[in-house]
Amino acid sequence: MAKQIDLNCDMGESFGAYTIGSDEKLLEFVTSANIACGAHAGDPTVMDRTVRLAKEHHVGVGAHPGFPDIAGFGRRMIDFSPDEIYRMVVHQIGGLQAFCTVHGFQMQHVKPHGAMYNLAAQNRDAADAITRAVYDVDSSLILFGLAGSELLAAGREAGLRVASEVFADRTYQADGSLIPRGRADAMISNVDAAVLQVERMVNEGVVCAATGEMVDIEADTICVHGDGEHAVTFVEKLRAMLERAGIVVRGLG
């Protein structure tokens, strides 16, 4: 049986007068969309439009909650209590869920953003807070989290369906964590190198760390970032090369 993988992308991150990413073009190639919910990016108009476009392209929709930090794009670590994290995730899921209801479209998943995502990968209290929020709003939602993370462990323990996420365009450390974005070697810009990394993760269950070690990894869904200068070309080539390699790109819903 051919290997299968979901291809997800963060989008809906424009707001007000500011346009970020090429969502409509990216939706032609991805199978899941993580839509910003107005905290780190996005606004009601953009949320509404992005849900509508995802439905038109038959792409699974997920809430992409983050810390309320538009100036830092949700990538700065802010000291919130687990209860505060719980409430902000409930609030953001609920906002996107309302637009899904308006468009007659079932929400598929939840994937935290940025600093919240990284915190939940290592901090069990934060992971439990996010998991509880997802479960309390809709226990049928799939929880996306970094492969091998505390967030996935918390989701499984709570009885949620989880999806182990890997990154096509990010580099890894020997412990399976992502290299911080502040480092020059954090991103992979060459599509051939990205495809090689994804092929290994999907077919062999390993990723090559920046220091050379082969690290075991589980891959259910691949994240590609939609805000880069050449994001559409990157995603288009990545999907085509995956399919040529015999990997079926298919949604999780």
What is the 3-state secondary structure of the chain? CCCEEEEEEEECCCECCECCCCHHHHCCCCCEEEEECCCCCCCHHHHHHHHHHHHHCCCEEEEECCCCCCCCCCCCCCCCCHHHHHHHHHHHHHHHHHHHHHCCCCCCEECCCHHHHHHHHHCHHHHHHHHHHHHHHCCCCEEEEECCCHHHHHHHHHCCEEEEEEECCECECCCCCECCCCCCCCECCCHHHHHHHHHHHHHHCEEECCCCCEEECCCCEEEECCCCCCHHHHHHHHHHHHHHCCCEECCCC
Say if residue 34's pLDDT is above 90: yes
Instruction: Give Cβ neighbours of residue 230 (< 8 Å, ≥ 6 apart).
Output: none
Say if residue 227's pLDDT is above 80: no
Cβ atoms within 10 Å, residue 221: 25
Strands 161-167 and 221-224, bridge-based pairing = parallel
Mean of pLDDT over the chain: 94
Yes or no: say if 48 and 35 are a contact pair by the CB < 8 Å rule. Answer: no
Rounded CA gap, 109 and 137, in Å?
A: 12
90 token code pair: 């409930």
Of 47-51, 73-77, 230-234, the poorest mean pLDDT is in 230-234
166-179 mean pLDDT: 92
Rounded CA gap, 222 and 201, in Å?
A: 10
Give the pLDDT band of residue 25 (cuts 50, 70, 90): very high
Say if residue 66's pLDDT is above 80: yes
The CATH homologous superfamily for domain 4-248 is Glycoside hydrolase/deacetylase (3.20.20.370)
Yes or no: say if 64 and 12 are a contact pair by the CB < 8 Å rule. Answer: yes
Residue 139, pLDDT score: 98
Rounded CA gap, 43 and 137, in Å?
A: 21
Q: Which amino acid is at 15?
A: F
Give the pLDDT band of residue 234 (cuts 50, 70, 90): confident
Rounded CA gap, 237 and 242, in Å?
A: 8
Say if residue 11's pLDDT is above 90: yes
Instruction: Give Cβ neighbours of residue 103 (< 8 Å, ≥ 6 apart).
Output: 51, 52, 55
Residue 190, pLDDT score: 86
Higher pLDDT, 107 or 185: 107
> Exposed e or buried b for every residue in 98-134, given b needs 16+ CB within 10 A?
ebbeeeebebbbbbbbbbbbbbbbebeebbbbbbbbb
Say if residue 148's pLDDT is above 80: yes
Say if residue 19's pLDDT is above 90: no
Residue 251, pLDDT score: 94
Residue 72, pLDDT score: 95
Residue 209, pLDDT score: 94
Yes or no: say if 73 and 44 are a contact pair by the CB < 8 Å rule. Answer: no
Of 77-91, 107-121, 126-140, 202-216, the poorest mean pLDDT is in 202-216
pTM given for the model = 0.95
Q: Where are the domains of the chain?
A: 4-248
